[in-house]
Amino acid sequence: MILNLAYYYLVQIAKKHVLLAPFIGGVEKLDQLEKRPKFIRSNFSPVVNDVITSEIIDERDRKKKVYEIVKSLNKDEKTLIYFPTVTGIHDFVKDLDKDNVEFEIDTDNPEINEFIQWVNEEIHDDWYLVKAMKNGYLVHNGQLPVGIRLFQLDLYENSKKYNKLLCTSTLLEGVNTSAKNIVITKPARGTKRMDLENFDAFDFYNLVGRSGRLFQHYVGKAYYIKGPSDPHYVKHEAVKNIQFEVTDTSQDMDIHNDNYTKHQNYQLFLNNLGITHKDYKENIGFRFRFGTIESLYESYRRNKHDLLSELHKQFENTRRGRYPLVRILYKIFEGTDNRLYSNIINKLLYKSRPKLKTVINEVHHYFRNVDLDVVISSAIRLKSSYIEYDFYAKLSVVLYYMRCEKVVERYIQIMDTKIKQVIDFLYFMEFNNLRMLKDLGIYENDIQKLLK
């Protein structure tokens, strides 16, 4: 475990701080902190977790084994079903329809009926989440908008009918739930490239610990589906030491503490842009780590000709669509030309605030070879997080590069008018009170209704 910049700074000003975590064996390198924490270790646990391993000899048997285990469990017991990726949840839900599971939605609960009706109208009636709910399952993963995640969790905790929750590694990241059982379909998580990375013992037993809860389930059961290449886990190997060390962020520590002269690549970056260290910190240094900013600058330089050429076409033809510009910007930001994502982003930047369902249907019409659930999930992720955070922040940095290089002002103005100002308008970037409502999970169109 590596100390991050936020903790490094906050611990210096905090009067008291408490960190609680399972399987922590000790604290190392305390001399790097001005305030040295006191470490207290305990093996006490208010619940017992039994791990039941179900071995399979062929990967193709994994999904079948998941169904067998879930069917064998008491339907009235709270059960978490863990998947390494969202795609795994998609595949699981698709097969539920084939299985003809008998489940009746609680028609006496108006909130459930309203929610499903809202999803059908605003997102899509063929979305896997609706199919899951119609088969008695709830869903939680990082791609879902905050409001939907909260609704699903609240329903899982309080409903007597919905006792099964399909989830990803968001469960390891602070989501507090109660469960009698957890089914681990595969002990891994998906990375950004969607490659699977196996859990170590710490992560595995952290996940196992999600079953069982004080005053509710004193004995929790974890069902581990173990394939031929999956690890064998031993509990004592889960114990880790916290290491207070800044490794890959040490350059950023030096930069933010004004000890940057030993980093030649940083000084070269400043010279290329013609800016000072102070300029960097005030304008772009707070947005990303320097490694990200440096890579973004290199990508901008590689694609600068295409960007300026498109901006010239936009200037020559004021009626030219925004899509080619969005496509080039996405390539600069992410290092890849993704027509699907660029198309979705472009449609999500319409000032008319089209329903997500409209965007999804229009995009899927042109990308029929792409699975509908992939289009839906991509549109939700781009709308609920990517555009207003990564895309907007990287756009601001690139605009700064352009101003430093004294790019023709009319080109900068086109970027500002057609992209940045639109995001400001759609995502309430300049209105803190409205941003607060959105960050709480309130849907954008509902915020407009509240304003009226």
pLDDT of 198 over the 60 cut:
yes
User: 48-238 maps to which CATH number?
Assistant: 3.40.50.300
| pLDDT greater at residue 312 or residue 170 | 312
Q: What CA–CA distance (Å, rounded) separates 171 from 195?
A: 19
* Average pLDDT for 426-448: 78
pLDDT band at 1 (very low <50, low <70, confident <90, very high): very low
Looking at the chain, the whole-number percentage of residues with pLDDT higher than 90 is 51
Q: What is the mean pLDDT of the chain?
A: 85
pLDDT band at 36 (very low <50, low <70, confident <90, very high): low
Look at residue 339 in the predicted model and tell me its pLDDT. 97
Looking at the chain, the whole-number percentage of residues with pLDDT higher than 70 is 81
Look at residue 338 in the predicted model and tell me its pLDDT. 97
Look at residue 217 in the predicted model and tell me its pLDDT. 46
Look at residue 248 in the predicted model and tell me its pLDDT. 46
pLDDT in tens, 167-193: 998 866 656 677 889 999 999 987 655
Q: How far apart are the first and last CA of the chain?
A: 48
Look at residue 21 in the predicted model and tell me its pLDDT. 63
pLDDT of 380 over the 70 cut:
yes
Q: What HEC string does the chain produce?
A: CECCHHHHHHHHHCCCCCCCCCCEEEEECHHHCCCCCCCCCCCCCCCEEEEEEEECCCHHHHHHHHHHHHHHCCCCCCEEEECCCHHHHHHHHHHHHHHCCCCCCCCCCHHHHHHHHHHHHHCCCCCHHHHHHHCCEEEECCCCCHHHHHHHHHHHHHCCCCCEEEECHHHHCCCCCCCCEEEECCCEEECCCCCEEECCHHHHHHHHCCCCECCCECEEEEEEEECCCCCCCCHHHHCEEEECCCCCCHHHHHHHCCCCCCCHHHHHHHHHHCCCHHHHHHHCCCCCCHHHHHHHHHHHHHHHHHHHHHHHHHHHCCCCCCHHHHHHHHHHHHCCCCHHHHHHHHHHCCCCCCCHHHHHHHHHHHCCCCCHHHHHHHHHHHHHHHHHHHHHHHHHHHHHHHHHCCCCHHHHHHHHHHHHHHHHHHCCCCCHHHHHHHHCCCCHHHHHHHHC
pLDDT band at 215 (very low <50, low <70, confident <90, very high): very low
- Return the residue matching tokens 């510009």: 325
**Cα-based distances in Å from 242 to 19, 239, 245, 249:** 11, 10, 9, 17
Look at residue 314 in the predicted model and tell me its pLDDT. 96
- Locate 401 and state its tokens: 């590069």
* Average pLDDT for 412-433: 89
Sign of CA dihedral 266, 267, 271, 276: positive
pLDDT band at 244 (very low <50, low <70, confident <90, very high): low
Look at residue 447 in the predicted model and tell me its pLDDT. 81
Look at residue 100 in the predicted model and tell me its pLDDT. 54
pLDDT in tens, 261-310: 889 999 999 999 999 999 999 999 989 999 999 999 999 999 999 999 99
pLDDT in tens, 318-369: 999 999 999 999 999 999 999 999 999 999 999 999 999 999 999 999 999 9
Lowest mean pLDDT among 79-88, 186-195, 396-405, 424-433: 186-195
Look at residue 44 in the predicted model and tell me its pLDDT. 61
| pLDDT greater at residue 41 or residue 310 | 310
pLDDT of 55 over the 90 cut:
yes
Look at residue 327 in the predicted model and tell me its pLDDT. 98
- The answer for residues whose C-beta is within 8 angstroms of residue 189's C-beta and 6 or more apart is 84, 85, 168, 169, 172, 196, 197, 199, 203
Domain boundaries, the chain: 48-238, 284-451
Q: What CA–CA distance (Å, rounded) separates 356 from 326?
A: 19
